[in-house]
Structure 1
Amino acid sequence: MGFCGGWNLPFGSVEKAVRALMRSTRRSTGRHAEAAAVFACDDAVFAGDDRLFVVFDGRLDNREELERRLGVPGASASDGAILLAAYHRWGGNCFAHIVGDYACAVWDDASRAFFLTTDPGALRTLFFWSDRGRLLFATEQRGLFACPDVPRELDPEQMAAWLAMLPREPLRTFFRGIRRVPPGHLVRWSAGKFTLECWWRPENVPTLRLKRDEDYEEALRDVLAEAVRCRIRPGERIGTHLSGGLDSSSVTAVAARALAEEGRGATAFTAAPRHPQPSRRNRFTDEWPHAAAVAALYSNVEHVRVDNDAMPMLDALDLREAGNDWPLLNASHNAWDTAIHRDARRRGLDVMLQASMGNMTISYDGTELLARRLRSGDVVGTLRTVRDLRRGGGRSWLGIAGQAADSVLPVALRRRLRAAFGKGEAGLFDYSAIHPEFLKRSGVAEQAIALGCNLRNVARADSRALRLAVLDRSDHRGHSAMATRRLFGIDVRDPTGDRRLVELCLSIPDEQFAKEGVPRSLIRRAMRGLLPDVVLDERRKGLQAADWRVTFDAALPGLRQEVARLRNSPFASECLDLNRMEALLAAWPGVEATGEQANYDYLCAFSRALTAGRFIRRVEGGNG
């Protein structure tokens, strides 16, 4: 399930690495005839000629385009042959021409160098270790750790950044000496040294100017359709994550239409509360009715309900962590997500489509439009936006005034004013149980407190910068996707993270996403007739796992034991505020508790600290 390789290593080290990665019996190995370059792969593409060795884990989503541009012979050409031809034509720049979810390594004998890359979608991972002229790379960190020379030493600064939800440093992992290949980047390694090059530059995508609003709608539909279609290959059994929101509903609907043309169907999974939950302001707490309305439009969609508490929280953590080489993001949400994948495996599915990047692409809400116009001094545009927010967006005058103030005031002043009016905003320690002293020593305290876990504080009035920052901070999805492949044999694919779709959505003016003050206006218009009105006209947000308190309450005895075990770990005791975690458990308000503070305390701060602590103990060997 991936590949590994390196330079100047005993071949036995690479053999051990590939065994750590293996899920299949389709293993291939190769050694360069005149050099110390070695490769091994498990169920991945492996090809070479007298100059190049290429190993590739993933999909070529623009294969027909590449065949045409490279002049290779259509269906008779293997993916490996296409990759070799692409590299011969474009060299290290070839990856900018390849679309798909992939990790790739190339040995180029002419330049005596390795080239390592992953695509911008971040659903494939690639790591490397280099020391004293040696190189070892692998698609999962466990492949590196199979080599006894590779250390397993945790990096305190990365743990601090993770707990503070800071933007990721491109090469950094949780282990000293272990580096990752960042999405959309190329690592060139030669003679014991490496350089990093960013080949994907979405910040430079030109703004798209079309004549009519309908042209933007058509462009979005067309590119979304292609992003979905290339992810549902012949012979594969397809599942989808279907919530009650616009993103997963759009992906499911487009997939259903494409599959129907081939006489095939899909299985859509919706996580829903088994225990009825009261409605909350601007939220609906049961997504099943909205999701069911989507599924009812397409006769080839089988709709499956999965209870949010279908798996005990700690059981789900134990299962998911066995396949994950990175801390999990959220303990409570992991329960229903793991339950869905477990059911999908039982049904024999091969692929799960999701839409986790949709909020930053197809259904971006256009919120930064008012800020941009205010900060640029566009008085007429600002007044027009205020009018639209009032009429089409249904916003109150007070709400619009608050949004305008947030747009122009310095962050510190904005926070003081909000606190003075009793509207204090959540800050770092609302979201995080990082130990304050550990944060101070980490050197990131000032940055973390200023950010306050809100990327709008560093990307103000710039929708493109904001969305790219969110995409960059969401690269943990690759670790989750790799774990899903390992544990369940299911390939997770996200059309809303398709490079072509991301670039299109970044190029579309903000005005289209917030037309006439309606948030997420573009996707609502583009999907009219393909989705039910109950989804398209819903202004509230669906609240996933609204009954998470039930799962948390059932796990309470085990959670107390977990925190007690963390005290046996010097590093967990250093970086986590264990006193606060114990106090939160002692003050647990029960399943009937309401209020946003419980979400901050337990769903965010405690949950993230718990998964970080379990990860630390796992690395230390203390979770046996």
Structure 2
Amino acid sequence: MDDTVRPWFVVLPDRDAPADLLTRLRRHACRTLLHPSGRPWLSGCWPDERMVLGSAGRTRVALAGTTALTAPELDARVKAARTAADVESAVGDVPGSFHVIASLDGAAYLRGTATGTRRIFWATVDGVPLAADRARTLAWLIGAEVDTAQLAARLAVPCLPHPLSGGAMWRGVRALAPGDALHLERDGGRTATWWRPPAAELPLSHSAVALRAALRDAVRARVRPGQLIGADLSGGLDSSALCFLAAEAGARLVTVTLGWSGPGNQDVDYARYAAERLPGVESLVFPSADLPPYFSGLRERRDAADEPWAGLCERAQQHRLTEALRDHGARHLRLSGHGGDHVLEPPTPYVHALLRRRPWLALRHVAGYRAGNRWPLGATARMLIDGRPYDRWLAAAGGRLRQSAEHWSLPEEWGILPRLPAWASEQAVDSVAGLLRSASARARPLAGDRGRHAWAYQAQEAGRIARLLQDGTAAVGLPVESPFCDDAVVAACLSVQPHQARDPWSYKRLLGVALDGLVPERLLRRTTKDHCNEEWHHGLRVHRRDLARWADDSRLVAAGVVDPDRLRRLLHSPGLLEGNGADVDSTLCAEAWLRDLAAHPTPAYLDPSHREEHPVEPTTR
């Protein structure tokens, strides 16, 4: 299988399916695995190392993704599994990031990860309920149109709240929420929750021990002794930690560091300090001037992902880094510290519950955040006393979509309120408000108190981006792996008492304690982060003329979610450079995604010319 072809699969229930549907799947699939009945169960394309199969009696279990577990080990684990609960007990402690797919005496059970690094989507195709790891596969099978409400929602920044983020972009395709599982039966499907955030009750020292073990296992699930792998080495704590853990596991490293031009940036200095202390590392440093500018390649049509995302704006840069890593021998993967910012520290809503347990400590933390973030006194008081349940907060968010970016500087309640850009159409505002109102009627928070909910959701947002990042980089031959987004790592982080993991005067205390003695102290003490503002503005200047041409032929305008006159001003006005970058990114990347979709109506991974032929394979060995 070509290492630039992305793996995919479809799961079928244990029932007779129309011959035309089976023929279509066989035409595009490399492999087909069978239910114990002999009917098709799992069809798609994947390399051997991305799927581990186990069986016992009339039970079949597949782990699809990243795991060091072997087939005999999985056989031993599932030998007594008869139910979905048995399967979860058998594989729940396996490190890595993978789908769980089971055939249980005629019933199909499947799920992704709790963080959303692996997703499940489902739809009815020719009267048969099917599930898949990619929404686009199902959309192609049923000829679905893009859902304009979901398209409008992708213009919102920074993201939509739970449970709306990551919804399927096509009508007729449903997205399974991270933490939920799907029971795929002969006549339909039903969902069940398999994961909830752990109780946040452990002291920092206990959670740090668990985090160190989870990170070590996550890295060892991906690397092998003597293997040459690529890795980001930004100079920040998260990527540095993974490099030291990979070296401890015996991997050989070739690392990439980006040097942004902003005054006072320190990434390169810290990265060089780390590289000097990593055994046998080959360190590649790229000044930003040596990379394609931001927004390069947006006019080049690529195969579309399951949804738009801001990483499209830097895909030419990432392609260049991937080429450099491959040129220096990295062929398997690229480790990334993505997710560390999301999972290692709770969002500030943790002070809401802390006030009710330890009021004086909570007020001290609040005073620190007020001073550092310039929270107004009135807004701070309202946040602390606000007792609205999640559904009411979610419903109210629909009426605040036109707020200015200034509200992001206010203290959060259940999370950050989404906001649409000024050039979003009234149709877009109405559509997104409708999604929020509809969700509020059924939504439940991820945890009982708003701090734990916000932290768990922040971790799931990291997982959503990690999935898209891996998908995009796999298409150029070196998939990015994000160990901080593994379920076990997130569980270790969420188990700590939030006020011990974060306060206004320290930075990533949990990781610092967890890796004390493994990562050099100077790196553990770092509290600064670099930025690339100059590069972002430069990229916009360089590509403004090309991007402005989109104003006269905008797919977003055609879909009715962007006002044409306001979009034209956005893409032509010199004052744009002083606007909000997240707004611009979300709009340009959604436009690029629609153009990619139109240019490649059939997903490239379904191209039969990329297949390596395999016979229909039984799941017993």
With normalisation by structure 2, the TM-score equals 0.77
Percent identical residues: 21
1:199: how far off? 0.5
Equivalent position to 1:278, from 263, 282, 287: 263
Which residue is 1:408 aligned to? 384
1:585: how far off? 2.4
Which residue is 2:618 aligned to? none
Q: Does 1:482 align with 2:471?
A: yes
CA contact (8 A) 1:369 1:511 kept: yes
CA contact (8 A) 1:330 1:608 kept: no
> What residue identity is the alignment partner of 2:320?
A
Which residue is 2:321 aligned to? 340
Q: Choose 539-548 or 213-222, whichever is displaced more.
A: 213-222
Q: Choose 324-333 or 44-53, whichever is displaced more.
A: 44-53
Any idea what the Cα deviations from partners look like across 1:51-104, whole Å, max 9, x if unmatched? 24444421335x4xxxxxxxxxxx7x5466357536447545445454421123
- In the alignment, the residues of structure 1 paired with residue 473 and residue 286 of structure 2 have an alpha-carbon distance, to the nearest angstrom, of 17
- In the alignment, the residues of structure 1 paired with residue 64 and residue 585 of structure 2 have an alpha-carbon distance, to the nearest angstrom, of 32
> What residue identity is the alignment partner of 1:266?
L
CA contact (8 A) 2:169 2:306 kept: no
Which residue is 2:615 aligned to? none
- In the alignment, the residues of structure 2 paired with residue 184 and residue 422 of structure 1 have an alpha-carbon distance, to the nearest angstrom, of 30
- In the alignment, the residues of structure 2 paired with residue 471 and residue 15 of structure 1 have an alpha-carbon distance, to the nearest angstrom, of 40
- In the alignment, the residues of structure 1 paired with residue 64 and residue 437 of structure 2 have an alpha-carbon distance, to the nearest angstrom, of 36
Which residue is 1:557 aligned to? 545
Which residue is 1:580 aligned to? 566
CA contact (8 A) 2:551 2:571 kept: no
Q: What is the CA RMSD across the aligned residues, in angstroms? A: 4.1
Query: Measured at CA, do residues 575 and 619 of structure 1 come closer, stay the same or move farther in structure 2, by a change above 3 Å?
Result: same
Equivalent residue runs for 1:373-392 within 5 Å: 373-374=354-355, 376=356, 378-382=358-362, 384-385=364-365, 389=368
Q: Does 1:293 align with 2:273?
A: yes
Which residue is 1:246 aligned to? 237
- In the alignment, the residues of structure 1 paired with residue 422 and residue 79 of structure 2 have an alpha-carbon distance, to the nearest angstrom, of 49
Q: Choose 166-175 or 555-564, whichever is displaced more.
A: 166-175
- In the alignment, the residues of structure 2 paired with residue 446 and residue 41 of structure 1 have an alpha-carbon distance, to the nearest angstrom, of 35
Query: Measured at CA, do residues 216 and 317 of structure 1 come closer, stay the same or move farther in structure 2, by a change above 3 Å?
Result: same
1:371: how far off? 4.1
Which residue is 1:453 aligned to? none
Query: Measured at CA, do residues 251 and 503 of structure 1 come closer, stay the same or move farther in structure 2, by a change above 3 Å?
Result: same
> What residue identity is the alignment partner of 1:196?
T
Which residue is 1:518 aligned to? 506
SS at 2:130 equivalent: strand
Equivalent residue runs for 1:52-451 within 5 Å: 52-61=59-68, 63=69, 77-78=71-72, 81-82=75-76, 84-85=78-79, 87-88=81-82, 90-94=85-89, 96-108=92-104, 110=105, 112-131=106-125, 133-145=127-139, 147=141, 150-164=142-156, 165-167=159-161, 168-169=163-164, 172-202=167-197, 205-210=198-203, 214-234=205-225, 236-259=227-250, 264-273=251-260, 276-279=261-264, 285=265, 287-308=267-288, 310-313=291-294, 315-317=296-298, 321-322=302-303, 324-349=305-330, 350-362=332-344, 364=345, 367-368=348-349, 370-374=351-355, 376=356, 378-382=358-362, 384-385=364-365, 389=368, 404-405=380-381, 407-408=383-384, 429=419, 433-444=423-434
1:175: how far off? 0.6
Q: Does 1:4 align with 2:22?
A: no
Q: Choose 316-325 or 183-192, whichever is displaced more.
A: 316-325
SS at 1:555 equivalent: helix
Query: Measured at CA, do residues 312 and 511 of structure 1 come closer, stay the same or move farther in structure 2, by a change above 3 Å?
Result: closer
SS at 1:303 equivalent: strand
- In the alignment, the residues of structure 1 paired with residue 570 and residue 492 of structure 2 have an alpha-carbon distance, to the nearest angstrom, of 45
Higher relative contact order by CA 8 Å / sep ≥ 6: 1 or 2? 2
CA contact (8 A) 1:513 1:522 kept: yes
Equivalent position to 1:566, from 554, 565, 573: 554
Where do 5+ consecutive residues of structure 1 fail to align? 22-26, 64-74, 280-284, 451-456
1:195: how far off? 0.5
> What residue identity is the alignment partner of 1:581?
L
1:177: how far off? 1.3
> What residue identity is the alignment partner of 1:206?
A
1:548: how far off? 1.4
Query: Measured at CA, do residues 516 and 584 of structure 1 come closer, stay the same or move farther in structure 2, by a change above 3 Å?
Result: closer
Equivalent position to 1:29, from 19, 22, 32: 32
SS at 1:547 equivalent: helix
> What residue identity is the alignment partner of 1:29?
T
1:508: how far off? 0.7
> What residue identity is the alignment partner of 2:512?
R
- In the alignment, the residues of structure 1 paired with residue 135 and residue 374 of structure 2 have an alpha-carbon distance, to the nearest angstrom, of 50
SS at 2:64 equivalent: strand
User: How many equivalent pairs are there?
Assistant: 559
SS at 1:540 equivalent: coil
SS at 2:101 equivalent: strand
Q: Does 1:547 align with 2:535?
A: yes
> What residue identity is the alignment partner of 1:270?
T
Any idea what the Cα deviations from partners look like across 1:175-212, whole Å, max 9, x if unmatched? 1112234333211121322101110111xx234445xx
